[in-house]
Amino acid sequence: MTKISAYELVTKEQIEFYREYGFVQIDNVLTSDELSELRIYLEEVMTQTNGHGIHTDKEGGSYYKVLNQKVDVWRDHAGMAKYSLSENFAQMAQLLTGVPSIRLYHDHALYKMPGDSKETPWHQDFPFWPMKESGALSMWLALDDVNENNGCMVFMPRSHKLGKVASIDFLEPIDIFELSKGTHIDDEKPVIVRMKAGSCTFHDGLTFHFAHANRTSNPRRVLAVIYMPDGTKFDGKSTHVTDSYGLQIGDSICGPRNPVLAKLSVKSVF
């Protein structure tokens, strides 16, 4: 399979879909060779015990049952950096959002483990991020075929239009739909996104989403990369990325861990 550029992967319809519904599916963003390579790199970085990456919880822990998560894998593995810092992927984020320039916020490996697996509760990402303005988004790149049996994503269309609703604790979640009752969300239906390995979704940081528990006997492997518009301002929240910079509220989040990965080009103006 030959590599396809962001301009060929993302259609005008997908851009319109993303902006209207707050998420979009983009198929076959990896070639089969890239998929095989990335699976090896991801496994290597997940089993590495020293380095900068932050393993959120250990086996047996309550969070681990929701997600076996390692944050900042690009910092520990040049092979992971090849994908997490990919201009092509960032270009897709730039096309979808339409902003002139896109920076990395951070990446994370997201395994949903077999066994005593829990669903990822309905939530928005934006409340976890130290950003004053919305606009940041995640690419969720599946390294396995995903469906309801192993933890595919489910999105609530147009929920990004509600703005910031709540920060949901994954271990003691409250019902985000209780909080959004009486809004246009009452008329929307969740969309289950089943995908083949090597395909991805992008979702806005404000979009409500959920993932099923993994009822199979294999891990569900995902690389997620969070992008933010260049110029996104710091809101003062303490996070592993911003704590390393000594940022003041209102400063642009643009330290050495947040490089510009893609910029507007003539080709990206539809």
Ligand X SMILES: O=C(O)CCC(=O)C(=O)O
Q: Least separation, in Å, of the C-beta of 205 and ligand X? A: 8
Please name the residues in contact with 13: beta carbons below 8 A apart, sequence gap of 6 or more: none
For residue 102, with 0-12 CB atoms within 10 Å meaning exposed, 13-18 middle and 19 or more buried, which class applies? buried
**Selected binder of ligand X within 10, 73, 131, 211 (CB under 6 A):** 211
Q: Least separation, in Å, of the C-beta of 260 and ligand X? A: 22
Q: Could you say whether residue 106 binds ligand X (CB under 6 A)?
A: no
Q: Least separation, in Å, of the C-beta of 3 and ligand X? A: 24
Question: According to CB under 6 A, which residues from 1 to 60 bind ligand X?
Answer: none
- The count of residues interacting with ligand X (CB under 6 A) is 12
**Selected binder of ligand X within 22, 130, 151, 157 (CB under 6 A):** 151
CB atoms within 10 A of CB 61: 13
Tokens of 197: 């390995």
How does DSSP assign 158-183, residue by residue?
A: TGGGG----PPPSSS---HHHHTTTS
Q: Could you say whether residue 110 binds ligand X (CB under 6 A)?
A: yes
Question: According to CB under 6 A, which residues from 120 to 139 bind ligand X?
Answer: 120, 125, 138
How does DSSP assign 112-142, residue by residue?
A: E-SSS--PEEEE-SGGGS-BSS---EEEEEE
Tell me whether residue 55 or residue 267 sits nearer to ligand X (CB atom).
Answer: 55
- Tell me how many degrees the CA angle 262-253-100 measures, rounded to the nearest 5: 30
Q: Least separation, in Å, of the C-beta of 80 and ligand X? A: 16
- Residues contributing to the site for ligand X (CB under 6 A): 67, 110, 112, 120, 125, 138, 140, 151, 209, 211, 222, 224
